[in-house]
């Protein structure tokens, strides 16, 4: 009798997993189609589309918030780099988050900064921040402000930056972000093009991988993009292309985007303030804020939108070793868990419309629980094999089919890149991207599945330490700190916590 029960349970479990696989394949096909439609329309569009607005003062003014923690070596280069951006109206708000080094002093000396005594650094944000020690403005560059505050972590620094920012839109920048020279104009274009009555409250663009490319004065333009020689990095290039070009275009079209990357995003200050600013002490504060903005949209029954721009606007340095990649991915999974858990009331809640009924469940079942289901799937097959419950040939054929489906999806992302951006122009690079995309399902994905499952289990067990990572501003204007190779620099970033322990 037990045998029968186990056998029935195994069969039912098998069906559930097959249903799950079919549903997720359906979601992927839908996203694939939405992305294909949009990118096919825009393929080979001339870059002069931006020139008409770039030269004018028509662009909306931006407050660029740059949190800094122990950045005395890089901060000056980073700020210089930002001061030279291709944009007409902006201010830079550097928030020194209680650095233990000379970050603030070096800023004050280098940019002739003087204390402003009575600037009211309050935007209406109903969230307490660590006290501000002083606010300075550069005498040489009136659009450069330094806020010196006590240490509270990246989210707290961003909140203070929001309080001090004077323009209606602010930009959040991650430390290891290398910008495209036209990043700002590309990202604000949807704001500039918003129809009457339509409000764009946040926009973000694609993030590419900088490893292997030559960064010039803190910027990386499409012409200088090169594919790294390291297989692990190439794999991440494919993964980023798929994640951004396929994952987000469809979601953005239906206003279901749950993540505006912290690496580089533009936000409407009023909305962020209303939504309560950045949540401190959380891992994925960028996703958490985006979800909260959706909550706010629904609460107000507004038509406001969160938009994704497919253009690559910034580049980041990817981990080059399994060890650091594992640390990064387990962390991302924990961040995802936190964001979803905190807003679990939205899942399948019709009050939150498409976000509640579609994108939250999608993130829960595919992004968060997907790896776990996958592991269960493998276990079911192995279990069935030993119980003599399955036809090995059928199982292996099905597995091969799904792996090839995954490969097709990834190769499709390479195709989309070629349609729209042509960043990888050497034929050799295309072949490498394609064959790595083809191989993804056979080695990279299983490894990632294990790490992500591990991350999920850690999150469920309540692991929280190592978070509140502080933004480093090193790549905008300078390379890694002297004597630190990319690997060690990445390790330092991964492990670093901006919050004093």
Binding other proteins (rule: CB under 8 A), the pick from 109, 112, 128, 229 is 112
- As given in the structure block, the two tokens for residue 197 are 């009555």
Q: Which stretch binds other proteins (CB under 8 A): 139-147, 173-181, 228-236, 480-488?
A: 139-147
The smaller minimum CB distance to other proteins, of residues 124 and 495, is found at: 124
CB count within 10 Å of CB 12 equals 10
53 in contact with other proteins (CB under 8 A): yes
139 in contact with other proteins (CB under 8 A): yes
The smaller minimum CB distance to other proteins, of residues 140 and 323, is found at: 140
42 in contact with other proteins (CB under 8 A): yes
Q: In the stretch 409-438, what mask flags binding to other proteins with x, by CB under 8 A? A: --xx-xx--x---x--x-x--xx--x---x
177 backbone dihedrals φ, ψ, rounded to 5°: -90, 125
**Burial annotation 217-237 (CB, 10 A radius, 16+ → b, else e):** ebbbebeebbbbeeebbbbbb
Instruction: Identify the CA nearest to 183 among candidates 283, 336, 59.
Output: 59
Paired strand residues for 297: none
21 in contact with other proteins (CB under 8 A): no
Binding other proteins (rule: CB under 8 A), the pick from 4, 57, 223, 388 is 57
CA atoms of 317 and 330, how far apart (whole Å): 18
CA angle 296, 298, 302 (to 5 degrees): 90
Q: Which stretch binds other proteins (CB under 8 A): 66-74, 148-156, 288-296, 399-407?
A: 399-407
The smaller minimum CB distance to other proteins, of residues 221 and 349, is found at: 221
Strands 169-173 and 62-68, sheet pairing: parallel
Least distance in angstroms from the C-beta of 395 to other proteins: 10
The sign one gets for the Cα dihedral 427, 433, 438, 443 is: positive
Query: In whole angstroms, what separates CA 212 from the centre of its chain?
Result: 20
Q: Say which residues have a Cβ less than 8 Å from residue 293's Cβ, sequence separation at least 6.
A: 201, 202, 271, 272, 275, 306
223 in contact with other proteins (CB under 8 A): no
Binding other proteins (rule: CB under 8 A), the pick from 401, 460, 485, 500 is 401
The smaller minimum CB distance to other proteins, of residues 395 and 497, is found at: 395
- As given in the structure block, the two tokens for residue 114 are 């003087």
Binding other proteins (rule: CB under 8 A), the pick from 193, 216, 229, 500 is 193
Instruction: Identify the CA nearest to 182 among candidates 313, 42, 47.
Output: 313
CA atoms of 94 and 119, how far apart (whole Å): 15
Binding other proteins (rule: CB under 8 A), the pick from 102, 130, 141, 166 is 166
Q: Give me the residues that bind other proteins (CB under 8 A), please.
A: 41-46, 48-49, 52-53, 56-60, 112, 114, 116-120, 139-140, 142, 166, 192-196, 391, 393-394, 397-398, 400-401, 404-405, 407-408, 411-412, 414-415, 418, 422, 425, 427, 430-431, 434, 438
């Amino acid at each position: 009798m037990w045998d029968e029960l186990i056998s029935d349970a195994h069969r039912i479990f098998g069906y559930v997993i097959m249903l799950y696989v079919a549903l997720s394949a359906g979601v992927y096909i839908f996203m694939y189609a939405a992305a294909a439609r949009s990118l096919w329309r825009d393929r080979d569009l001339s870059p002069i589309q931006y020139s008409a607005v770039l030269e004018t003062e028509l662009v909306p003014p931006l407050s660029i918030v740059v949190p800094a923690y122990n950045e005395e070596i890089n901060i000056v280069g980073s700020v210089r780099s930002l001061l030279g951006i291709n944009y007409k109206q902006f201010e830079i708000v550097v928030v020194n988050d209680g650095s233990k080094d000379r970050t603030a002093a070096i800023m004050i000396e280098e940019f002739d900064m003087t204390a402003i005594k009575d600037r009211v650094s309050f935007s209406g944000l109903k969230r307490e921040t660590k006290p501000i020690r002083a606010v300075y403005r550069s005498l040489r560059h009136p659009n450069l402000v330094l806020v010196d505050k006590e240490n509270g972590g990246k989210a707290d620094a961003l909140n203070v930056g929001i309080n001090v920012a004077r323009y209606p839109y602010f930009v959040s920048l991650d430390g290891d972000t290398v910008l495209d020279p036209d990043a700002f104009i590309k990202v604000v274009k949807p704001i500039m093009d918003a129809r009457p009555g339509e409000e764009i409250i946040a926009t973000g663009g694609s993030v590419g991988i900088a490893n292997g490319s030559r960064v010039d004065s803190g910027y990386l333009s499409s012409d200088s993009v090169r594919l790294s020689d390291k297989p692990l990095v190439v794999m991440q290039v494919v993964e980023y292309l798929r994640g951004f070009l396929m994952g987000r275009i469809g979601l953005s079209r239906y206003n279901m985007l749950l993540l505006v990357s912290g690496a580089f995003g533009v936000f409407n200050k009023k909305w962020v303030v209303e939504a309560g600013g950045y949540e401190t002490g959380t891992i994925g504060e960028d996703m958490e804020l985006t979800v909260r903005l959706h909550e706010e949209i629904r609460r107000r029954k507004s038509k406001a939108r969160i938009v994704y721009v497919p253009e690559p606007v910034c580049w980041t340095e990817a981990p080059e070793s399994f060890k650091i990649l594992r640390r990064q991915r387990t962390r991302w999974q924990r961040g995802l868990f936190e964001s979803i858990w905190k807003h679990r009331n939205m899942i399948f809640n019709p009050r939150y419309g498409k976000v509640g009924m579609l994108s939250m469940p999608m993130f829960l079942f595919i992004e968060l629980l997907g790896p776990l289901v996958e592991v269960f799937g493998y276990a079911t097959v192995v279990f069935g094999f030993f119980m003599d419950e399955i036809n090995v040939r059928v199982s292996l054929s099905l597995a091969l089919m799904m792996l090839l489906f995954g490969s097709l999806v990834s190769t499709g992302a390479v195709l989309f890149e070629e349609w729209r951006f042509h960043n990888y122009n050497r034929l050799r690079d295309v072949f490498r991207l394609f064959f790595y995309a083809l191989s993804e399902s056979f080695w990279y994905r299983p490894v990632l599945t294990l790490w992500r499952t591990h991350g999920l289990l850690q999150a469920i067990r309540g692991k929280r330490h190592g978070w509140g990572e502080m933004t480093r501003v090193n790549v905008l204007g300078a390379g890694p700190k002297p004597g630190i190779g990319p690997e060690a620099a990445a390790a330092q970033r991964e492990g670093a916590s901006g919050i004093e322990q």
